[in-house]
Structure 1
Amino acid sequence: MLYAKRNPDGRIVALTETAEPGSTAVDMKDREVLNFLSINDSSFSPEQFLESSDAGTIRIIEDIVEILIAKNIVLFTDFPQASQKKLLSRKLARSFMQPESEELQDSEPRPAEQSRILIEDDDSFL
């Protein structure tokens, strides 16, 4: 079941999978839900939507992997070598895209372990 939270004007402002105070049950195919998700035109194709959102989803997964490594929940070397190479290549490419000014604007300096995808146990990969 899907639940919607609404603003004072009655427009959907959030969707959740669990009932929360002030939320109402809605159907995924409801026009208001589709409007909220911006997938409301008649030419909507689930396949095209998934394909167009793949890049953003991949970035989320990469962020999750980095968090898990930083918290020592998984080791970089737990991944197959092909995955390790792909993760490193993508991290390197992103570092080239990040402007230096953004790096300097970080309000909190990161510990060395959090700013790199490898930890000491993983150095043998290099």
Structure 2
Amino acid sequence: MVYVRRDASGSVLSVSAEADDLHPEAADAHAPEVQAFLGRLGDDNPLAGTDLGLVRVIEDLIDLLIARDLIRFTDLPDAAQEKLMARRTMRRSAGSLDLINGDNEVL
């Protein structure tokens, strides 16, 4: 749950982790308008553009460590296991539909 401040047209102007005088309205952090606002913030951040690529590097690194028996998948926290499995499933599904090529670039 986050708290938002909106303009007269209802667009999100700012988001806060805590309710205060400027952010009185509770909103789901995954709500489309909150995600859109956060996405606009990322446009100004030069590091945000590298995040997706870095995520793939980390996934590949985890796979390599597992393949070399340096860690076990079950050594990872439950939340990390769930996220990795969800991404693998999505990648496999997208690959079977031929929507992405081997580098996971959208065609």
TM-score (normalised: structure 1): 0.40
Larger Rg: 1
Higher relative contact order (CA 8 A, sep 6+): 1
TM-score (norm 2): 0.47
